[in-house]
Homo-oligomer: A and B are copies of this chain.
């Protein structure tokens, strides 16, 4: 049975990836064709000609105005997927239509709905407004992950791994040492995990980008909306600084680390990552440093999770993990994802201490 929840919105691409060239990406096992019409709208249809299922993204298929022409036998489709021409006959069969996907461009992402289109409600798409806001500067990327998406969810919900896997970049001893608090909002469908370090070493990632010297107050507030959108609200400030009662926070640096976790197949994932900051907005060196540094961190995760995927695939049935306090958020996320996918959660914790 699939571990991938259907009837959900998923990030398929950055808006900047889709233009006037045919663009294909597999989302939740479904091959989808994208292009931007001459008026600028993103279209999403199944990437298979209805005739002999040739991929419409495959050369010599091509975009002509607002229509795609199949490179095998010339079946031609409009942006809504409707077939408008076939070879050798004037009549176009009325059932000749690509499956269209509900699609919304928002917060720099292109979201598609996987599942029953009748259930698609754009208002339910979670937001990440920083990525598209003049008050922030954002660097971003996309890495292919040859691992099931749940391994990336586990990874991001438990940041104690920063200390070990990302030492020298974003990890310091305090991350693993500081207890977390977890909150699950089942109605809103959100898992919150917070770790506030009041007196911590400043890792290079933040020292070089903020210019802060010495020890810091470092807050990590995770807000994960399963299945796709993960936000880490990161606050870096001098030790002792706290936000004002009115919410302003002039002494602090804020970084919004956003991941879109999109299953490509049951065993591979599109790992979208973005880092938005509210300081040094025009400083290209800071942008380059954060882009390079965060990509390195993402690739450390990718390498580890690619290994884990192989481990999971070859492990004997009935294998039991052992969970501890740090896993509370990840286990809550697993339960929510399993419910969404109509499954029972894998690997209930063998032992937990509270």
* A165 interface residue per 8 A CB criterion: yes
Name A60's contact: one of B51, B74, B165, B322 (CB within 8 Å): B165
Interface size on A, residues (CB 8 A): 55
Among A113-121, A242-250, A291-299, A308-316, the stretch in contact with B: A308-316
Q: Could you tell me if B322 and A93 are in contact, using CB atoms closer than 8 angstroms?
A: yes
Name A53's contact: one of B69, B319, B326, B351 (CB within 8 Å): B319
Given known contacts A72-B304, A176-B87, A176-B88, A315 and B95 CB-to-CB distance under 8 angstroms: no
* A106 interface residue per 8 A CB criterion: no
One digit per residue, 1 when the CB lies within 8 angstroms of any chain B CB and 0 when it does not, for chain A 145-184 equals: 0000000001000101101110100000000111110000
DSSP class of A's interface residues: helix, strand, loop or mixed?
Answer: loop
Give A34-75 interface residues, CB cut-off 8 Å to B: 48, 50-55, 58, 60, 69-74
**A50, A55, A74 — which one has the most chain B CB atoms within 10 A of its CB?**
A74
* A353 interface residue per 8 A CB criterion: yes
Q: Could you tell me if A95 and B351 are in contact, using CB atoms closer than 8 angstroms?
A: yes
Oligomer: number of copies: 3
Query: Within the assembled complex, what's the spacing in Å between the Cα atoms of A139 and B238?
Result: 63
Residues of B within 8 A of A154 (CB): 52
Residues of B within 8 A of A165 (CB): 60, 71-72
Q: Tell me the minimal C-beta distance from A349 to chain B in angstroms.
A: 10
Known: A53-B321, A87-B160, A88-B180. 15 other contacts (CB 8 A): A50-B322, A52-B321, A54-B304, A58-B304, A60-B167, A72-B165, A72-B304, A73-B158, A74-B163, A86-B324, A89-B324, A91-B353, A93-B324, A95-B322, A95-B351
